[in-house]
Amino acid sequence: MPSPLGDKIRARRIQLEMSLEDLAIATGSSKGYLWELENRDKANPSADKLIKIAAALGVTTEFILDESPEVEPEASVLDEAFFRRYKKLDSKRKDKVQKFLDMWEDED
Amino acid sequence: MPSPLGDKIRARRIQLEMSLEDLAIATGSSKGYLWELENRDKANPSADKLIKIAAALGVTTEFILDESPEVEPEASVLDEAFFRRYKKLDSKRKDKVQKFLDMWEDED
DNA sequence: TTTTTTTGTTCGTTATATAGTACCATCAAT
DNA sequence: ATTGATGGTACTATATAACGAACAAAAAAA
């Protein structure tokens, strides 16, 4: 009896071709616990774990917490997650990223 | 030493003119615990509590969890402009950009 | 003022989130 | 076939989220 929260974590993890151990390392958790989150019906992680898992999976915490069982994060959700990371970059790195966009937009 | 999470909860609660007990009732928690969330420096509520508190306060969980300091408006405008361009990229190029973020975030 | 009610604070206890270890299964390489 | 990785499952121990009840401040009523 997996929870929608667990289904989303597993689906996204597999989509990124990560093992439980990969995710455990990326999020500073034990893989045993991550397995429980994905497969046990009472999944109730702490804010701290939630934030780290969402970051490692490149999705928003909102997406993971949402009760509706859509396992495929719609593109907009992924974009928002990216944007939150982007905003934290220093300006030099932001410029680097923008250079890529300039280049790509010139291609077509 | 209140956490940003605690500050947001308290600010919003007072804005709605709710007492700790009001919020405790609305969210099915003890007011003692809610006080800890607002005033203790290590605030780490569970997903369950998070969802209920956000609902009672009429905000998103994302808002409560977001720890990033508010950015100055001038920069945010530029970021939004970038984001509009980013969203138009195909997924392969989006992945490429994200790889850079992965790398940079690992550096520090 | 004095009393009563409301709101906030503290703390010992309990429930449970999470780590840690060890156990199975699969598969690749020897 | 056997060994050694690798990924998943299960179980026990421990740290801590969360409660409940009592105490303190403040506010409001009297």
Pair (B56, B77) in one structural domain: no
User: For the segment A38-47, what is each residue's pLDDT rounded down to a tens digit?
Assistant: 998 889 999 9
The number of distinct structural domains making up chain B is 2
Sequence letter at residue A8? K
Distance A101 CA to C25 C1' (A): 46
Enumerate residues 37 to 76 of chain A having a beta carbon within 8 A of any beta carbon in chain B. Answer: 43-48, 50-51, 58, 60-62, 65, 75-76
Instruction: Give me chain B's average pLDDT, please.
Output: 81
In a shared domain, residues B25 and B60: yes
Q: Determine, for residues A83 and B79 on separate chains, whether the beta-carbon distance falls below 8 Å.
A: yes
CA torsion sign for A6, B56, B40, B7 is positive
Say if residue B88 is in the same domain as residue B52: no
- Determine how many CB atoms are found less than 10 A away from the CB of residue B68: 10
Considering the domain architecture, whether residues B91 and B60 belong to the same structural domain is answered as no
B95, B49: one domain: no
Distance CA B65 to C1' D22 in A:
32
For the four alpha carbons of B98, A29, B46 and A4, in that order, the dihedral sign comes to positive
How far apart (Å, rounded) are the C-alpha atoms in residues B85 and A46?
35
**For residue B107, pLDDT beyond 70:** no
Number of other residues whose CB lies within 10 A of the CB of residue B17: 7
Q: What domain range includes position A79? A: 4-107
**Is the CA virtual torsion A93, A94, A100, A102 positive or negative?**
negative
Nearest CA of chain B to the CA of A85: how many Å? 8
Residue-wise pLDDT tens digits, A61-101: 989 998 765 555 666 667 777 877 887 788 788 888 888 87
Give the Cα separation of B57 and B16 in Å (integer): 8
Mark whether B60 and B8 lie in a shared domain: yes
Asked whether residue B79 falls in the same domain as residue B26, the answer is no
Using the CA of A43, which nucleotide's C1' is the nearest one? C17
Residue A46: strand, helix, or coil = strand
Nucleotides of chain D touched by protein CB (<7 A): 6-11, 16-22
Please check whether residues B51 and B20 belong to one and the same domain. Answer: yes
* Local structure of residue B72 (DSSP, 8 states): P
At position A68, the amino acid (one-letter code) is S
Q: What is the CATH number of the domain that holds B49?
A: 1.10.260.40
Q: Is the pLDDT of residue B70 over 50?
A: no
Residue B53: which residues within 8 A CB-CB, separation 6 or more? B9, B23, B27, B29, B34, B37, B45, B64
Query: Do B10 and B55 belong together in one domain?
Result: yes
CA B86 – CA B63 distance, rounded (Å)? 23
Question: CA–CA separation, B57 vs B66, rounded Å?
Answer: 16
Segment A47-70 mean pLDDT: 86
Q: Tokens standing for B97?
A: 């950009």
Whether residue B56 sits in one domain with residue B80? no
pLDDT digits (tens, 9 = 90+) for A1-46: 446 889 999 988 988 888 899 899 999 999 999 999 999 888 999 9
Size of interface A-B (CB pairs under 8 A): 88
Contacts of A68 in chain B (CB under 8 A): none
Same domain, B59 and B77: no
B41 and B11 housed in the same domain: yes
